[in-house]
């Protein structure tokens, strides 16, 4: 089986980093020099990221990452097409990470209602607040039950964990659908 998985999140959260650390092919990334002075980073993604990963059972994950800059919102729908799950990567250094989360939950509403979603909070090492319980409460208040965890996508192990959690939800969903029939 092949699965398309999408990573999204604000500029600098670590989408390109995450795909780069787990991809077994040279990750494709459309980086250009960053001219947005409000985010201190040299380059930013303007098209999308792409990487591939084969699981132990032979399943292949095709990993896509959205650009973080708001001016590329039009890419969201294109990239969401055919995806089997969404990983929302939050950057806890930003002024209002909870409303960032809302933006992606709203923007990808259809995809996540039909598939699976994991909410991963990055950059907690330097910015522990808001804590995980605030994110969970926020999701619960919206009637959503997705796994929320802290991550550091510079480490392969953490990215693998996010993918595992997403795949697990898909398996559960498939089982439930089988019972429905
Ligand atoms: N300290 C710390 N640094 C992190 C963490 N996660 C990612 N980073 C760093 O943050 C930066 C993220 O950059 P990218 O991977 O380019 O971010 P992006 O989400 O692709 O950004 P855009 O393409 O501009 O939207 C990299 O320098 C990572 O090494 C973390 O949890 N803690
Ligand atoms: Mg990027």
Sorted by where each starts, the structural domains of the chain and their CATH numbers stand as: 2-180 (3.40.50.300)
Contacts for 61 with CB less than 8 Å, ≥ 6 apart:
2, 3, 4, 5, 52, 53, 54, 55, 163
Confidence of residue 29 (pLDDT cuts 50, 70, 90): confident
Query: Is the shortest distance between the CB of 92 and ligand 1 below 6 Å?
Result: no
CB atoms closer than 10 angstroms to residue 113: 9
Query: Is the shortest distance between the CB of 126 and ligand 1 below 6 Å?
Result: yes
What is the rounded CA–CA span in Å between residue 60 and residue 156? Answer: 17
How far is the centre of ligand 1, averaged over its atoms, from the C-alpha of 111 (Å)?
A: 24
131-171 pLDDT, tens digit each: 999 999 999 999 999 999 999 999 999 999 999 999 999 88
The H or E element containing residue 26 is: none
How far is the centre of ligand 2, averaged over its atoms, from the C-alpha of 176 (Å)?
A: 35
12-28 pLDDT, tens digit each: 999 999 999 999 998 88
Cis peptide before 130 (omega within 30 of 0): yes
What's the pTM?
0.95
**Cα distances (angstroms) measured from residue 126 to each of 91, 119, 129:** 11, 19, 9
Does 94 score more than 80 pLDDT? Answer: yes
Torsion, Cα of 34, 61, 90, 35 (10° steps): 10
The H or E element containing residue 137 is: helix 132-141
What is the rounded CA–CA span in Å between residue 22 and residue 63? Answer: 9
The H or E element containing residue 48 is: strand 43-54
Residue 69: per-residue pLDDT = 84
Confidence of residue 47 (pLDDT cuts 50, 70, 90): confident
Can you list the positions of beta strands (E) in 55-168? 60-65, 86-91, 117-122, 148-150
């Amino acid at each position: 089986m092949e699965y398309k998985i999408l990573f999204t999140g604000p500029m600098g959260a670590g989408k390109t980093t995450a795909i780069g650390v787990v991809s077994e092919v040279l990750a494709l990334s459309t980086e250009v020099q960053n001219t947005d002075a409000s985010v201190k980073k040299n380059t930013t993604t303007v098209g999308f990221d792409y990487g591939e990963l084969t699981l132990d059972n032979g399943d292949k994950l095709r990993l896509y990452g959205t650009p973080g800059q708001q001016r590329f919102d039009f890419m969201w729908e294109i990239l969401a097409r055919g995806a089997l799950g969404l990983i929302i990567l939050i950057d806890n250094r930003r002024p209002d990470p909870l409303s960032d989360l809302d933006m992606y939950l709203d923007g990808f509403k259809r995809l996540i209602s039909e598939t699976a979603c994991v909410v991963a909070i990055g950059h907690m090492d330097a910015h522990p607040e808001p804590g995980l319980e605030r994110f969970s409460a926020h999701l619960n208040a919206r009637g959503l039950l997705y796994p929320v965890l802290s991550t550091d996508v510079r480490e392969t192990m953490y990215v693998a964990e996010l993918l595992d959690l997403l795949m697990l939800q898909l398996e559960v969903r498939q089982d439930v659908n089988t019972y429905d029939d």
